[in-house]
Amino acid sequence: MGDPTMRERMLAGELYLADDPELARDLHRAQALSHRFNSQDPTDGAAGRALLTELLGAFGADSHIRPPLRCDYGYQTFIGARTFANFGLVCLDVATVTIGDDVNIGPNVQLLTPTHPVAAGPRRDKWEAALPIAIGDNVWLGGGVIVLPGVTIGENTVVGAGSVVTRDLPANVVAVGNPARAVRQVEP
């Protein structure tokens, strides 16, 4: 067997070069489908659902995303049932982004899986990697929340508007700030 392709390296979470032709094709596919979704009649729920089902790795029953939606590849994003994302979701899904059931995502939330080398040489040479993001069931991400690479957010957790989630958050907490920190338990 030969060396792994850049796409195989990306999917394995290894350093890769994003300007690879195979990855460019995948990116263009996602851009075209996102453009169609973002440009379509927002009152045509069936057309929107069909586009999201084609774009994403999974799009659960009774879930809804308000355009605009931006993603890198789409097929790396998995959304559970009854999840709602408000306007302006950015989902840089170089690694997998898994969003559970009954999740509420406020406007202008960013889910960012890409990482870049700290060393100047490899970064200048355009090497990058990514770490997955996992969001548990019944999570609420307030408006403008940013979730960084490699973060897992436990079920029922609420993240306050404008927070930057740099580390895992446990289940059943309210977290706020930059970096986001648990400040109390979720009321039953």
Question: d(Cα 58, Cα 76) in Å, to the nearest integer?
Answer: 9
Phi-psi region of 86 (alpha: psi -120 to 50; beta: other; left: phi over 0): beta
Question: d(Cα 113, Cα 93) in Å, to the nearest integer?
Answer: 6
State the maximum Cα–Cα separation within the chain, in Å, rounded to a whole number: 55
CB 130 within 8 A of CB 166: no
Report the helix count and the strand count for the chain, using DSSP H and E. 4, 20
- Pick from 10, 60, 52, 61: which is nearest to 30 by CA? 52
Question: So which residues are the catalytic ones?
Answer: 116
CB 82 within 8 A of CB 60: yes
The pair of three-digit structure tokens given for residue 172, joined into one six-digit string: 């059943």
End-to-end CA distance of the chain: 54
Q: Which helix (DSSP H) or strand (DSSP E) does residue 28 occupy?
A: helix 21-39
